[in-house]
């Protein structure tokens, strides 16, 4: 039977120029480089210039992805942008990027699932392609978390960074050689009873401010490990695969201890796990597409490699995608 598959055809990323080492935090809050590295694995992160908006970061990542895929923006049918830090309350950041790119047909919209946003966006893009509604989709994760950090809260302000990543998917039919590539399965979950573990203490309808990140780190850590393992198992099972088949894990980059603990429980060697958190910090919805693009630049993935992507964030919302590169 002929089946439509969503195949990756290009990716890109952008990290703002300003790189901030842990030592900068030692000057303003009661912390040390050693504490941050040992508890999180983070050594530095990038912060956007005040003149940069989330759409500016997204645009640069999107242009790099178009060039990598060797297609024009006018060929895109849809653009889905995951962010928790949009330029404005409305219109969507996606439509701003659509316009700046010169994408003159189709539609664009934002998705909000915080750190799991890229997985939710990818899953939606996959569904749009499989249903036959679109052929080429740009999926972006872009964040400027530095705008919602409380610089006096040492347990959160050291964790996050800014950046954007983009992946372009194209419809292919499984009666071609492309069957060996593309998205095989997705798994999405959320549970709003955990809202209070990780949230922003402001919003349009509540305070009319954008607010700042608050988090119960220890609790989030525990949920992250167990839920990332279960969602990864769900995606693999849905694709009739097991951990033995995985060539690369591309996890959300929140904390190196969450990443290694999860890999350890699943019996996956850390040589197969992409890690960018040490130089990027947690870039929320942008972390997975940035990791994909950096890995591609380093020629780490071979065509047909099985990638397991997984993420969790505020909500809590979590999910995973199994995809052949
Ligand atoms: N420097 C020095 N000490 C600190 C710092 C800091 N930057 N931050 C917290 N501490 C202190 C605390 O005040 C506490 O001190 P106390 O014992 O005197 O009260 C002590 O360190 C231990 O605090 P915990 O919060 O229990 O520390 P923990 O070992 O759990 O590490 C951390 C904190 C790194 C936030 C950890 O809980 C974590 O990584 N949680 C996961 C959260 C996460 O990654 N969230 C990102 C968003 S969600 C996602 O993307 C998955």
What are the tens digits of pLDDT across the range 70-100? 999 999 999 999 999 999 999 999 999 999 9
Neighbours of 153 (CB within 10 A): 14
pLDDT the model gives residue 1: 64
Ligand 1 atom with the smallest distance to the CA of 312 is 51
Taking a C-beta distance cutoff of 8 angstroms, is the pair 141, 94 a contact? no
Residue with CA at minimum distance from ligand 1 atom 30: 218
Catalytic residue numbers, as ranges? 115, 252, 282
Residue 35 DSSP SS3:
helix
State the distance from the centre of ligand 1 to the C-alpha of 232, rounded, in angstroms: 25
- For 264-319, how does the pLDDT look when each residue is reduced to its tens digit (9 = 90+)? 999 999 999 999 999 999 999 999 999 999 999 999 999 999 999 999 999 999 99
Residue with CA closest to ligand 1 atom 24:
218
Q: Give 21 Cα–ligand 1 centroid separation in angstroms.
A: 18
Distance 221 CA to ligand 1 centre (A): 9
188 CA to middle of ligand 1, Å? 27
What is the reported pLDDT for 39? 96
Cα 105 to middle of ligand 1, angstroms: 46
pLDDT tens digits, one per residue of 152-184: 999 999 999 999 999 999 999 875 554 579 999
CA 83 to each of CA 1, 38, 61, 96: distance values in angstroms, whole numbers, following the listed order: 37, 28, 14, 13
Per the DSSP assignment, residues forming a β-bridge with 183 are 323
What is the mean predicted confidence (pLDDT) over 211-221?
A: 97
Does residue 5 surpass a pLDDT of 80?
yes
Percent pLDDT > 70 in the chain is 98
Residue nearest to atom 10 of ligand 1 (CA): 155
Instruction: Report CA Rg, the chain.
Output: 18
215 alpha carbon to ligand 1 midpoint, in Å? 9
Q: Whole-model pTM?
A: 0.96
Cβ-in-10-Å burial (0-12, 13-18, 19+) of 186 comes to: buried
Q: DSSP labels for 77-129?
A: SEEEEE-SS-SSSSS-HHHHHHHHHT--SSEEEEE--GGGHHHHHHHHHHHHH
Which residue out of 24, 255, 258 has the highest number of ligand 1 atoms within 8 Å of its CB and is therefore the one to mutate?
255
Select from 35, 214, 217, 280 the residue to mutate for testing ligand 1; criterion: most ligand atoms less than 8 Å from CB: 217
CA distance 10 to 253: 21
Ligand 1 binding residues, C-beta < 6 A: 31, 35-36, 39-40, 115, 154-155, 158-159, 198, 215, 217-218, 220-221, 224, 252, 254-255, 282, 312-313
Mean pLDDT of the chain: 96
Q: What percent of the chain clears pLDDT 90, i.e. is strictly above it? A: 96
pLDDT above 70: residue 232 = yes
**Ligand 1, atom 36: nearest CA belongs to which residue?**
217
Instruction: Output the pLDDT for position 178.
Output: 43
Is 255's pLDDT higher than 80? yes
Report the pLDDT value the prediction gives residue 174, as an integer from 0 to 100: 72
């Amino acid at each position: 039977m002929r089946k439509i598959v969503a195949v990756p055809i290009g990716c890109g990323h952008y990290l703002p120029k300003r790189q901030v080492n842990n030592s900068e935090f030692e000057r303003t809050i009661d912390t040390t480089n050693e504490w941050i590295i040992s508890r999180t694995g983070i050594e530095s992160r990038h912060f956007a210039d005040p003149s940069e908006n989330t759409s500016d970061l997204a645009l640069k990542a999107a242009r790099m992805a178009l060039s990598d895929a060797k297609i024009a923006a006018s060929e895109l049918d849809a653009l889905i942008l995951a962010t928790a830090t949009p330029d404005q309350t409305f219109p969507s950041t996606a439509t701003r990027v659509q316009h700046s790119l010169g994408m003159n047909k189709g539609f664009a919209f934002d998705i909000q699932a915080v750190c799991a946003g890229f997985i939710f966006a990818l899953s939606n893009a996959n569904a749009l392609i499989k249903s036959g509604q679109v052929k080429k989709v740009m999926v972006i994760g872009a964040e400027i978390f530095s705008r919602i950090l409380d610089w006096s809260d040492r347990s959160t302000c050291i964790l996050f960074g800014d950046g954007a990543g983009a992946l372009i998917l194209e419809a292919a039919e499984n009666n071609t050689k492309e069957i060996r590539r593309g998205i095989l399965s997705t798994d999405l979950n959320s549970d709003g009873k955990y809202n209070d573990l990780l949230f922003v203490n402001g919003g349009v309808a509540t305070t009319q401010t954008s607010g700042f990140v608050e988090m119960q780190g220890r609790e989030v850590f525990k949920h992250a490990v167990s839920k990332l393992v279960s969602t990864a198992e769900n995606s693999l099972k849905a694709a009739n695969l097991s951990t033995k088949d995985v060539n690369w894990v591309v996890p959300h980059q929140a904390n190196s201890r969450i990443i290694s603990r999860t890999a350890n429980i699943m019996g996956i060697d850390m040589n197969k796990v992409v890690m960018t958190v040490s130089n990027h910090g947690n870039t929320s919805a942008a972390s997975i597409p940035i990791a994909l693009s950096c890995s591609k630049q380093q020629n780490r993935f071979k065509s047909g490699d099985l990638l397991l992507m997984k993420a969790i964030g505020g909500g809590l919302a979590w999910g995973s995608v199994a995809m052949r590169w």
